[in-house]
Amino acid sequence: MNKVEKLKAEVLKAQQSDDIASLYILEQRAHETFDEDTLNGFYANILDLALEKLTDTLEAHRVMDMNEVQDFATIRALYEYAIEHYSAGAVADASALFEVLSGLTNDTNFSSALKFHWIATKENLSLDDFLANIADIDATEAAGTFYISCFNKEAQKLLDKTQEESS
């Protein structure tokens, strides 16, 4: 069995087990091994599993536990999906995903961060403007989170403005 076939077998096993976390563990090898079409399929499978888990979670009226590896991987996949929408200019779709994600976990830091994402999209800020004017990328990198978790003073101004408009 060659390298590609071996990796495909590992990916298939993870998919059949609904194991998003294992798929993320295989991600670097997938980047090094797969062609673009296969890699796109790899990410599509992660997203399909994450959307299934989202549906199951919502139907069960539960919150995801960021300390549970599958929930964590699911949230990561859904966040990346929302950012893809945001990046592609599908601001309304990104906004809806950010809103759902902000209430989906037991992690207050994640929920708070996603509220800034959601407000930025509701204000129709582009992703570039969000990254340049609201997010603090250096602090986020230092924090080591998979999501944008640190924000500058403009973020608080945006939050205050939104709260004033809604009252």
pLDDT (tens digit per residue) in 75-86: 999 999 999 999
> What pLDDT, on the 0 to 100 scale, is given for residue 127?
95
> What pLDDT, on the 0 to 100 scale, is given for residue 157?
82
Q: Is residue 9 part of a domain?
A: no
108-111: long-range contacts at Cβ-Cβ below 8 A with a sequence spacing of 24 or more? 109/149, 110/66, 110/75, 110/147, 110/149
Q: Is residue 127 part of a domain?
A: yes
How many domains does one find in the chain?
Answer: 1
Per residue in 27-61, pLDDT (tens digit) is 999 999 999 999 999 999 999 999 999 999 999 99
> What pLDDT, on the 0 to 100 scale, is given for residue 36?
93
Please measure the distance between the N-terminal and C-terminal CA atoms of the chain and give it in whole angstroms. Answer: 64
Q: How many CA atoms lie within 13 A of 56 on its CB side?
A: 11
Q: Is residue 22 part of a domain?
A: no
Per residue in 110-156, pLDDT (tens digit) is 999 999 999 999 999 999 999 999 999 999 999 999 999 999 988 88
pTM of the model: 0.90
Could you tell me the pLDDT band of residue 167, with boundaries at 50, 70 and 90?
Answer: low
Closest CA to 97 of 165, 147, 37: 147
| pLDDT at position 66 over 70 | yes
Rounded CA gap, 146 and 82, in Å?
13
Q: Is residue 75 part of a domain?
A: no
